[in-house]
Amino acid sequence: MDMDTFTFADVSFTYDDEKDTSLEELRGSLPVFSPLRFTETDKRMRTPHDTHSTKRPRQAGGIHKSLSFGDHPVYQPSPSNGVKNAVSLLMDVDNVIGDGTAIFSLPTVKGKHSDLKSIDSNTLVGLQTGLYQNTVSGYQIIDCRYPYEYNGGHIKGAHNIYKEDDILQLLQAYQPNTQRDILIFHCEFSSERAPKLCRLLRNKDRELNSDKYPFLTFPELYILDGGYKSFYYSNKSYCEPINYVPMLHQDHAADVRHFRSKSKSWTAGEKRKSPQRLLF
């Protein structure tokens, strides 16, 4: 009897090839979700340039509602479907979001972090102006800079989240059966602070939903390439106030020391690992 044992997203699974062990058999109460069915048609995945044809339903009044988990029209349930299918899908297909229900909604660019999906400033402006309203049901911009940077000038509608506790509150504030927004993270350059918090959110999301794997509260995450600095100099009218305060501004030396000491309390000992695509 051939049996494969493997670890995926910090969860170990044993798969029986002869029995085609189902997800229900492996995870007990875990239902066989439709995203785990990956058909031959789906294998011809679209590139980021034509992802906009995958439209999500809209509510009356112009408000978009996210699909419930398993409602995506492309993926169909199968009684013989197993965890091995989901692992293969999420590991091998780069353009699938973290819960396997859909492909990424926005066109991406090659960013500084190979394990994270990045969008450019023009795409974010398009999102703000409704260009992707038939594709994206809702979104939040997460500004990971320190408060004095955020208060000095930020992208309209952005939320200032720069601590681990803030990330946990964001996850815990989610209510079942409500839309699951896509999240766009950025800091000054999107080099350190935003990627760290983006990865932290995904790790905590996996932990909180370990009993419902591969469900995620926020399955679609992006990094704003170039950060606030790049966005500001190309799209000032989308910032409020129209200003840019660098982290190392001479008037905020004491603030830098204060906020750096707070952020190091939860990043202490963190080692940079070899880039691996997070399961987005």
pLDDT tens digits, 33-43:
333 333 333 33
| Average pLDDT across the chain, whole number | 73
How many Å separate Cα 175 from the centre of its chain? 17
- Nearest-angstrom CA–CA distance, 211 and 182: 22
Question: Which residues is 16 bridged to in the sheet?
Answer: 3
What residue type is 20 in one-letter code?
D
Q: Tell me the per-residue pLDDT of 206-218, one tens digit each, with 9 for 90 and over.
A: 999 999 888 999 9
**pTM metric for this prediction:** 0.67
Q: What is the mean pLDDT of residues 6-13?
A: 44
pLDDT value of position 68: 35
Q: Is the pLDDT of residue 199 over 60?
A: yes
144, 187, 198, 239: which is the annotated catalytic residue? 187
Q: Which two tokens stand for residue 136?
A: 């994206």
Q: What is the mean pLDDT of residues 175-202?
A: 92
Does the annotation mark 187 as catalytic? yes
- Nearest-angstrom CA–CA distance, 233 and 217: 33
Q: What is the mean pLDDT of residues 121-136?
A: 95
Q: Tell me the per-residue pLDDT of 129-144, one tens digit each, with 9 for 90 and over.
A: 999 999 998 999 999 9
Q: Nearest-CA neighbor of 176 among 133, 208, 223?
A: 208
39, 81 Cβ separation under 8 angstroms: no
Q: Which two tokens stand for residue 40?
A: 């031959």
Residue 58: helix, strand or coil by DSSP? Answer: strand
* Better-predicted residue by pLDDT, 177 or 23: 177
pLDDT category of residue 230 using cuts at 50, 70 and 90: very high
Residues 6+ apart with CB under 8 A from 151: 245
pLDDT value of position 83: 54
Q: Nearest-CA neighbor of 163 among 222, 120, 204?
A: 204
Q: Is the pLDDT of residue 52 over 70?
A: no
Q: What is the mean pLDDT of residues 28-35?
A: 37
Residue 8: helix, strand or coil by DSSP? Answer: strand
